[in-house]
Structure 1
């Protein structure tokens, strides 16, 4: 008897999911793809549909200020919250104190910008921001 009562309940649940899932999936996809689009709107201050290095560094500067919780003019690995790999940290932190200042952060933003700009036109569009290099840049500027 127990197996017989579960079957209609399971069937009803599957029917409900079957009707609900198609309605939910487009919204989930839009939310996932909206990350770079939302970032673009926030960073693209001249509203030309692209991000140039000046805009990226301005956004990076705002992020740096937000991350610098103790306001000492540098961010350490804890404040960076995983935005910079250990390998990158060694490269941009020559004195090895596990802190980078604003100038070093700007240099890292510029390096990641160049990596995300394979055509070298000095501008990143939404497609370029969706690449691995583009996502790495977004970690620093949003």
Structure 2
């Protein structure tokens, strides 16, 4: 067994027991992979309800200081400064869960050019789809 095979085996073993790379280091999911991860009803598309469930869990995971909001540090670049300002109607410099989910909703609409209320892999691979995925990863 070569060192390369051992390294590959170790990586597989670590992933298998839940020691995957941190999200910040992981590549963004492609459209098809994202559909598989988000599509709880297995219809081949994702709807706003499915995206909101993932976004809500992402908010909870990012919200480290237990103040009920995400600041720029907690958002880790998911929104630009202008994006935060746009999503922050009370102008307090942070996003509460309602504001965060509203930003997710806006990105969902931008990624849904046909307006059918669902996103397929092609739509998630678009620039707007990738922006949505970046916000909920």
Scaled by the length of structure 2, the TM-score of the pair is: 0.76
Q: Which has the higher contact order (CA 8 A, sep 6+)?
A: 2
| Counterpart position of 1:107 | 102
Structure 2 gap segments, 5+ residues each: 1-26
RMSD after superposition: 1.6
Larger radius of gyration: 1
Aligned pair count? 111
| More helix as a share of residues | 1
More displaced, 118-127 or 84-93?
84-93
Using the alignment, how far apart are the partners of 2:76 and 2:105 within structure 1?
19
Using the alignment, how far apart are the partners of 1:33 and 1:136 within structure 2?
10
Q: Which of 98, 112, 118 is 2:113 aligned to? A: 118
Using the alignment, how far apart are the partners of 1:39 and 1:97 within structure 2?
32
Query: What is the Cα deviation at residue 34 of structure 1?
Result: 6.0
Scaled by the length of structure 1, the TM-score of the pair is: 0.73
Deviations 1:9-42 (A, max 9, x none): xxxxxxxxxxxxxxxxxxxxxxx89632222111
Residues 1:140 and 2:135 aligned together: yes
Using the alignment, how far apart are the partners of 1:107 and 1:33 within structure 2?
21
Q: Which of 78, 81, 87 is 1:86 aligned to? A: 81
Runs of 4+ in 1 over 4 A off after TM superposition: none
